[in-house]
């Protein structure tokens, strides 16, 4: 699968979808990752009580079954992206389901987002209902994003109201996230679906969970495949001995994915690659360098991220190595890239 990310609004627009399908045909790309839920927004009328009561429901894709039928006719593989614990609706309506601060107020990260408490069984059930809905309308693959504890902001000021009721209140974040993923896996497998997860690209070079529940081997276990976000712009200068990773897209993607291959030798990897400019202008050369790097490491599948859904067609000459395999950022600001 070689694909792109689409917002729900893009996917729900007949005109935008016509243009997207034409672009996929021209480039040889064959997959779209579509938002079903992001930052708390639920982009389809699911009928899920908590979504409706929290005013999270937005009708961006009015007829999801028709959309999926259109994609199937075009030979395009659809993936449902469900961002899990970052949520700006439920915490406001139900603070007891949110990560709180020590004053008892809803905790927010540096970007102003609130988060669902990962210890809460109610939150697990809510996210599971959204997964069930996506499978029911016909998505063959569920991709979990933000399947972690919050990483931005003061962790010392975080309070998890449901922790005391969790079966093991002393459970570490990586164990909580792994258990949640196993619960979602049971739902997906019961319907014959595929389960994937977005993870930070950098976690392949660390030996712990960084306090967010993404210890590589543990989080990878429940998933059929892992989608590391190896965006060159997101690596610190000097990472992997590369002075400026953003200026060396081929080298940084190779080194990062080699770590994934080493630590997860039996796991399918489908990396997210950068098709946006952040700190440095990215064009066809830079996008192509990442694709070539992934293929060189042995991963012929990939996904491209551009929050504005504007992709660099010139990076996609229909080369045999590829065709043989199965929110809008400003250049100076960090795009929403999940995990």
Average pLDDT, consecutive stretches of 10 residues, N- to C-terminus, the chain (339 residues): 98 97 97 98 98 98 98 98 98 98 95 97 99 99 97 87 96 95 98 96 67 83 96 94 97 96 95 97 97 97 98 80 33 47
Q: Are strands 268-269 and 225-229 parallel, antiparallel or unpaired?
A: parallel
Structure token digits, residue 212: 């967010």
Handedness of CA 328, 330, 334, 337 (dihedral sign): positive
93/208 Cα distance (integer angstroms): 34
Nearest to residue 61, comparing CAs of 36, 44, 86, 80?
44
pLDDT of residue 324: 31
Helix, coil or strand: residue 9: helix
CA distances from 149 to 35, 87, 178, 197, 332 (A): 20, 12, 12, 14, 26
Structure token digits, residue 145: 């994003």
51/118 Cα distance (integer angstroms): 17
pLDDT of residue 207: 61
pLDDT, tens digit, 9 for 90 and up, residues 275-284: 999 999 999 9
256/274 Cα distance (integer angstroms): 14
pLDDT, tens digit, 9 for 90 and up, residues 316-326: 975 444 433 33
Q: Give the DSSP letter string of 39-93.
A: TTEE-S----HHHHHTT-B--SSS-HHHHHHHHHHTT-EEEEEEE-SB-SSHHHH
pLDDT of residue 175: 94
Nearest to residue 233, comparing CAs of 300, 194, 278, 198?
278
pTM: 0.91
308 half-sphere exposure, CB direction, 13 A CA radius: 11
82/97 Cα distance (integer angstroms): 18
Domains and CATH numbers, the chain: 2-323 (3.20.20.80)
Q: Are strands 2-6 and 302-305 parallel, antiparallel or unpaired?
A: parallel
Using left for φ > 0, alpha for ψ between -120 and 50, and beta otherwise, residue 94 falls in beta
């Amino acid at each position: 699968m070689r694909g792109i990310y689409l917002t729900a609004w893009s996917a729900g627009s007949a005109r935008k979808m016509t243009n997207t399908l034409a672009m996929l045909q021209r480039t040889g790309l064959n997959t779209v990752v579509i938002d079903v839920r992001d930052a708390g927004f639920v982009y389809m009328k699911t009928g899920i009580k908590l979504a409706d009561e929290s005013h999270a429901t937005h009708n961006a894709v009015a007829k999801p079954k028709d959309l999926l039928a259109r994609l199937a006719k075009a030979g395009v593989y659809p993936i449902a992206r469900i961002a899990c614990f970052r949520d700006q609706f439920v915490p406001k309506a139900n603070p007891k389901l949110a990560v709180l601060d020590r004053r008892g107020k809803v905790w927010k990260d540096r970007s102003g987002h609130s988060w669902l408490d990962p210890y809460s069984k109610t939150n697990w059930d809510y996210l599971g209902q959204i997964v069930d809905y996506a499978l029911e309308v016909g998505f063959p693959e569920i991709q979990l994003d933000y399947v972690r504890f919050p990483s931005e902001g003061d962790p010392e000021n975080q309070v998890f109201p449901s922790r005391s009721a969790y079966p093991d209140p002393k459970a570490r974040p990586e164990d909580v996230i792994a258990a949640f993923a196993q619960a979602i896996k049971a739902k997906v497998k019961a319907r014959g679906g595929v389960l994937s997860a977005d993870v930070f690209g950098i976690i392949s070079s660390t030996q712990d969970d960084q306090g967010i529940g993404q210890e590589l081997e543990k989080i990878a276990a429940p998933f059929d495949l892992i989608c590391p976000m190896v965006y060159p712009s997101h690596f610190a200068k000097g990472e992997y001995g590369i002075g400026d990773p953003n200026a060396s897209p081929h080298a940084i993607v190779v080194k990062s994915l080699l770590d994934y291959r080493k630590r997860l030798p039996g796991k399918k990897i489908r990396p997210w690659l950068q098709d946006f400019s952040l700190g440095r202008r990215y064009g066809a050369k830079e996008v192509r360098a990442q694709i070539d790097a992934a293929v060189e490491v042995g991963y012929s599948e990939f996904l491209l991220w551009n929050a504005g859904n504007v992709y660099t067609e010139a990076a996609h000459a229909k080369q045999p190595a590829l065709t043989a395999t199965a929110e809008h950022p400003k250049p100076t600001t960090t795009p929403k890239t999940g995990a």
